Chains A and B, each alone.
Chain A
C-alpha cells in the first residue's frame, strides 16, 4: 500500500514563528503536493513538486515556501506564521502528472496563536 505520512497530526505555533511541515511518501512517486483545507473553501493547492529540487506555485503560494531535497520528502515552510495560516494542511503524492491518482496523507491541523 502507498503510504504518505505527515510529521504531526496537530501543531500549535505562535505568530511569527518559522514552521516546518514534513511529508514523506514511500512509493517512489515523482510528484508531491501541498494543499490547505478550510471550511467552505475546499482544498487549495499551495505548491507542487514534479522532481527533486523542482517546484511550482499553486493557487495560494503567498506566505509559504517548499523544499524537496530528496525524492521521498517534501517540506512546507511557513517563514513567519500568521493567524490566517491556521488551517488543515494536506500532503499528497502521485506517480506522475496527469490523471494519475493522488495519495493523501492524514493531514496536519496547524493552529497559529
Chain B
C-alpha cells in the first residue's frame, strides 16, 4: 500500500497562508489524494481531494505535483479555528473503499 509522509508539526501566524506538504512517492495511478483534518475532541472532517489537477474549494486549495509524488494543502488565511491535525490520505481509486491514513501534521496557529 502506498504511504504518505508529512511533517509532525507546523506553526503559522493567524491570517497568514499555510502550506502543508505531503510526500507520496509510491502513489499508484488510480490513487486519489485526500486531505482531512481533525479538530480537538472531534472526528476527522473532509477538506479536499484531487487526482491530477489542482483543486480549490471554500476551505482550501490542493496543489498536486506534476509527477503526483507530492502535494500541498494550502490554507489561504489561517485562523485560530484551523488549528488541527491535518491528514494526507491516498485512496478511493478504482472504486475501492480503503484509505491509508498517515499520522498527520499538527498545525498550530499563533494569534
Q: How far, in whole Å, are A98 and B92 apart by their CA atoms in the complex? A: 4
List B residues 34-75 near A (Cβ within 8 Å). Answer: 34, 36, 41-46, 49
In the complex, the chain B residue whose C-beta lies closest to that of A31 is B97
CB distance from A10 to the nearest CB of B (A): 11
In the complex, the chain B residue whose C-beta lies closest to that of A90 is B43
Q: Is B21 an interface residue (CB 8 A)?
A: no
Contact A97–B97 (Cβ < 8 Å): yes
Greatest chain B CB density within 10 A among A56, A92, A104, A105 is at: A104
Contact A99–B103 (Cβ < 8 Å): no
CB distance from B99 to the nearest CB of A (A): 7
Q: How far, in whole Å, are A103 and B36 apart by their CA atoms in the complex? A: 10
Given contacts A44-B101, A97-B95, 13 further A-B contacts (CB under 8 A): A4-B43, A41-B103, A50-B97, A58-B98, A92-B43, A94-B97, A98-B92, A98-B93, A98-B94, A98-B96, A99-B92, A102-B46, A107-B43
Task: List chain A residues, Cβ under 8 A from B49.
Answer: 99, 101
5 pairs from A and B in contact (CB 8 Å cutoff): A50-B97, A92-B44, A105-B43, A107-B42, A107-B43
Greatest chain B CB density within 10 A among A42, A90, A97, A106 is at: A42
Task: List chain A residues, Cβ under 8 A from B32.
Answer: 99
In the complex, the chain B residue whose C-beta lies closest to that of A38 is B103
In the complex, the chain A residue whose C-beta lies closest to that of B97 is A97
List B residues 69-105 near A (Cβ within 8 Å). Answer: 87, 92-99, 101-104
Task: List chain B residues, Cβ under 8 A from A48.
Answer: 97-98
CB distance from A96 to the nearest CB of B (A): 8
CB distance from B5 to the nearest CB of A (A): 12
Task: List chain B residues, Cβ under 8 A from A33.
Answer: 97
Task: List chain A residues, Cβ under 8 A from B101.
Answer: 35, 42-44
Q: How far, in whole Å, are A10 and B14 apart by their CA atoms in the complex? A: 33
- Known A41-B103, A42-B87, A42-B101: A104·B43 in contact at CB below 8 Å: yes
Task: List chain A residues, Cβ under 8 A from B87.
Answer: 42-43
Task: List chain B residues, Cβ under 8 A from A31.
Answer: 97
